């Protein structure tokens, strides 16, 4: 969520914060805020599709700093959009903003855009580091607040809604959390700490009144957040006399916030304040607005989900998910980060957003390449029962369900209705509805994955198991991409994958395998090559579009693999895709084809490259 203008309002005054030394404590972290913050590093490249290795290193360093200060982190991630889909207008508006940013980046005018697989790379990094995390059924804010209050510890986020929640341990904005400047306390018993600032709701309310903390949710709702717009209350703001006015123009937004806080301070609690708000509205509007305000204030009430149970025994119980008939195994997999929010949105809402990348806006969306994979995902989630005994004649047509996809059409956001795929007989069997999908034999699930990607297991068997899914996805990408993939684009992609594999065996060698000297020599040569200044660093938009298509195919390949219970190993994204590297390799292959021999000093890596190339070309 987020309260419009509140972060700027609070930051501008500064007096509402106290200095805090974060150490020897539990810390509840808003995962979505954290991965956005780490992703937007000052030196990050946003044009070339993401450097997931550098991102994963930043995640590792962040949690390393917490560990040095004896801080026990618990990460909570947003899930789907929720059964009521109340944020849809906000999400459409954000998608349009991201589309404008992507267009600006494609033209070289700068901007920031979260790379497509950042969330997946973040979840993988948390798993590798052993950081406890949970992915909620829907919006995570109330569950974050509930868990932090249960433990009496701070919340770390960048979401202005946490200025409004009543938090026993306080709210630390990530913008004031100096994890890169860990300090040591003086004295023999001194322990490292992270310098931070903590928002004080007491100071904030004392400054405007005193104002009852119980009125802060009404303040947030009246000012407008992700769930409610201001339009419904414009009549109130046009008639009421707020203290110190409600000026327009420069500073007007903050003056309205200040005026509203001071106006609310005259009331003992929300019920009295709501009654006074309604006096300014027409009689026929009052009950509808009362209901809207009261419902929206509940967004700041404690959640009925007890995340402590999940972190203690792995049990995630959620009433909203139960009402939506989500199978328990799906909810468990979602909570453990083994299914993406995309899947739950398709299942509950029959609606998905396809995130834009820096691609050629004159061409069809890069996501269109992966449409057949998405259709199989939709088919698995929404397949119609073949038990027609009690079905009405209209339901006996076995018409395939459709899903509404929000994607770009040139430079605008459009929605398209996509039909789910018809599935093979094993998956249409009424013995195996969605809640029993994991009972379908694994060979059948693997066959569906491979058939969707258009490969046979015998093709990819010579490839290391953790690279079989990317290899199968690459075969699919070559078959479905429009325009067709250029040979140098394919070679650049495979060389990038080999470089990640070389880095893996060098940095994390298998203790059961004797390290080969030629691998470390080849890796040092590769690092020296990377250090050389690139003579031609032009940005090739058509190549970028092609690599975007590959990432879209990989994303949906990952989601389908997860939904089928991972019949193929999941690849490590931090070793798999480095956008700046693949673009550089592509540029150099055009002018110096000898770059293809970059890894010939390592017989193992040279062999891997040839096996990948032969598999994909065949």
- 395 within some domain: no
**In this structure, is residue 237 part of a structural domain?**
yes
Considering 299, 315, 344, which residue would you say is the last residue of a domain?
299
Same domain for 295 and 338, yes or no, is no
Domain enclosing residue 109, as ranges: 6-299
Q: Which of 283, 299, 315 is the last residue of a domain?
A: 299
Residues 422 and 511 in one domain: yes
User: For residue 175, which of 76, 30, 45, 332 has the smallest C-alpha distance?
Assistant: 30
- Domains of the chain: total: 2
Q: Are residues 274 and 376 in the same domain?
A: no
Is the residue at 134 inside a domain?
yes
What is the CATH number for 176? 3.40.50.1010
Q: Is residue 244 part of a domain?
A: yes
Secondary structure E strands in 31-157: 71-77, 133-135, 155-157
Q: Could you state, in chain order, the average pLDDT of each consecutive group of 10 residues for the chain (618 residues)?
A: 84 90 97 96 91 97 97 98 92 95 92 96 98 97 96 96 94 97 71 94 89 94 74 82 55 78 94 93 89 91 89 93 94 97 97 97 97 97 59 54 97 96 82 85 96 96 97 97 96 97 87 78 91 77 97 98 98 97 94 91 94 92
Please name the residue ranges forming H helices in 47-200. 52-68, 88-106, 118-129, 141-151
* Same domain as 447, residue 342: yes
Domain presence at residue 394: no
| Span between the terminal Cα atoms of the chain, in Å | 49
Tell me: do 295 and 426 sit in the same domain: no
Question: Is 159 in the same domain as 221?
Answer: yes
Q: How far apart are CA 198 and CA 182, in angstroms?
A: 17
Say whether both 51 and 148 belong to one domain. yes
Bridge-partner residues for 414, per DSSP? Answer: 407
CB neighbour class for 352 (10 Å; exposed up to 12, middle 13-18, buried from 19): buried
Q: Are residues 237 and 343 in the same domain?
A: no
CB 258 within 8 A of CB 208: yes
* 264 and 354 assigned to the same domain: no
* String of DSSP letters for 181-195: G-EEPSSTT--EEEE
Domain boundary among 284, 299, 314: 299
Helix axes 328-335, 341-349, angle to 10 degrees: 150
Same domain, 220 and 341: no
How much is the pLDDT for 534? Answer: 66
List phi, psi (to 5°) of 67.
-60, -40
Same domain, 269 and 377: no
Identify the pLDDT of residue 48: 95
Strand partners, 74: 28
570 falls within a domain: yes
What is the pTM assigned to this prediction?
A: 0.94
Query: Residue 317 domain-assigned?
Result: no
User: Would 294 be classed as within a structural domain?
Assistant: yes
**pLDDT at residue 230, as a whole number:** 62
Angle (CA) 530-607-594 rounded to 5° is 45
- Cα torsion 125, 131, 135, 139: sign: negative
Within this chain, do residues 333 and 213 fall inside the same structural domain, yes or no? no
């Amino acid at each position: 969520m987020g309260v419009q203008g509140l972060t700027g309002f609070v930051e501008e005054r500064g007096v509402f914060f106290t200095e805090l030394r974060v150490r020897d404590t539990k810390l509840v972290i808003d995962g979505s805020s954290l991965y956005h913050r780490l992703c937007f590093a000052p030196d990050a490249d946003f044009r070339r599709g993401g450097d997931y290795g550098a991102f994963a290193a930043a995640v590792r360093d962040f949690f390393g700093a917490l560990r040095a200060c004896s801080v026990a982190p618990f990460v909570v991630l947003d899930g789907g959009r929720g059964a009521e889909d109340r944020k849809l207008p906000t999400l459409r508006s954000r998608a349009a903003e991201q589309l404008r940013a992507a267009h600006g980046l494609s033209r070289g005018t700068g901007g920031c855009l979260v790379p497509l697989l950042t969330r997946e790379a973040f979840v993988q990094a948390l798993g590798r580091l052993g950081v406890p995390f949970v992915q909620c059924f829907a919006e995570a804010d109330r569950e974050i607040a509930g868990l932090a209050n249960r433990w009496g510890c701070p919340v770390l986020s960048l979401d202005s809604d946490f200025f409004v929640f009543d938090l026993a341990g306080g709210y630390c904005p990530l913008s004031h959390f100096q994890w890169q400047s860990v300090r040591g306390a003086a004295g023999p018993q001194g322990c490292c700490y992270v310098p931070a600032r903590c928002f004080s709701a007491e100071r904030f309310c004392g400054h405007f009144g005193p104002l009852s903390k119980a009125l802060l949710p009404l303040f947030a709702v009246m000012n407008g957040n992700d769930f409610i717009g201001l339009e419904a209350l414009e009549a109130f703001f046009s008639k009421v006399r707020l203290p110190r006015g409600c000026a327009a123009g420069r500073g007007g937004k903050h003056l309205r916030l200040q005026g509203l806080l001071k106006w609310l301070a005259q009331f003992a609690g929300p019920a009295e304040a709501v009654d006074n708000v309604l006096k300014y509205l027409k009689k026929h509007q009052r009950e509808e607005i009362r209901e809207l305000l009261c419902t929206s204030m509940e967004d700041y009430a404690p959640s009925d989900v007890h995340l402590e149970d999940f972190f203690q025994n792995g049990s995630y119980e959620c009433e909203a998910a139960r009402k939506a008939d989500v199978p328990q195994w799906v909810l468990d997999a979602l909570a453990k980060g083994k299914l993406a929010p995309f899947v739950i949105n398709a299942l509950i809402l029959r609606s998905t957003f396809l995130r834009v990348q820096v691609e050629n806006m004159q061409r069809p969306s890069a996501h269109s390449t992966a449409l057949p994979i998405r259709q199989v995902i939709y088919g698995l989630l929404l397949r119609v029962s073949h038990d027609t005994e009690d079905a009405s004649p209209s339901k006996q047509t076995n018409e395939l369900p459709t899903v509404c996809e929000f994607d770009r059409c040139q430079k605008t956001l459009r929605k398209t209705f996509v039909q789910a795929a018809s599935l093979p007989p094993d998956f249409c069997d009424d013995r195996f509805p969605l809640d029993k999908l994991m009972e379908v034999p694994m060979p059948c699930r693997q066959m569906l994955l491979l058939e969707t990607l258009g490969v046979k297991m015998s093709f990819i068997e010579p490839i290391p198991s953790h690279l079989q899914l990317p290899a199968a996805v690459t075969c699919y990408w070559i078959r479905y991409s429009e325009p067709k993939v250029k040979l140098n684009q394919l070679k650049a992609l495979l060389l990038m994958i080999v470089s990640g594999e070389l880095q893996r065996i060098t940095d994390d060698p298998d203790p059961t395998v004797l390290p080969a000297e030629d691998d470390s020599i080849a890796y040092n040569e590769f690092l020296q090559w990377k250090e050389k200044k690139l003579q031609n660093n032009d940005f090739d938009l058509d190549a970028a579009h092609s690599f975007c298509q590959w990432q879209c195919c990989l994303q949906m390949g990952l989601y389908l693999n997860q939904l089928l219970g991972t019949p193929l190993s999941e690849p490590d994204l931090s070793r798999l895709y480095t956008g700046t590297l693949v673009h550089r390799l592509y540029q150099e292959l055009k002018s110096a084809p000898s770059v293809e021999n970059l890894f010939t000093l390592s017989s193992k890596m040279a062999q891997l490259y040839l096996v990948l190339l032969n598999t994909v070309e065949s």
